[in-house]
Amino acid sequence: MTAPGDEPPRWVLTLYVSGASPRSAEALETVRRLCDEELPGRVELQVVDVTDEPALAVRDRIVAVPTLVKRLPPPPRQLVGDLADVDRLRAGLDLGPAPAQPSGPGAP
């Protein structure tokens, strides 16, 4: 049984993309995969296409896409550029190093 203060933090992320551009599609795939693998059930991910909702981009002062905005947990952050690099994404979100993958004989 966990105490109320022992619950993992809730994550609130917004990914700003531009239509179906290859960089935006790659960023979306990488961010979703990271959320599914590292933050299952603890993340709210909003995806905003700046061509459809430019007012949201102006509100958050988005100057380039793709951009990932981390609102929670603190501190807030904006990650801009190559969001297909999982290690860079993990570092920017303060997730620490990637979990070790099994290796050697008998590893899947």
What are the extents of the domains in the chain?
10-92
- Residue 1: the pLDDT is 45
Question: What is the pTM for the complete model shown?
Answer: 0.82
| CATH code of the domain made up of 10-92 | 3.40.30.10
For 30-64, what is the HEC assignment?
HHHHHHHHHCCCCEEEEEEECCCCHHHHHHCCCCC
> Are 42 and 11 contacting, i.e. CB atoms less than 8 angstroms apart?
yes
- Structure confidence at residue 19 (pLDDT): 85
Stretches where the chain sits below pLDDT 70 are 1-6, 98-108
Q: What are phi and psi of 56, to 5 degrees?
A: -70, -40
Give the sheet arrangement for strand 11-17, strand by strand. Answer: 43-49, 11-17, 67-72, 77-80
Strands 43-49 and 11-17 turn out to be parallel
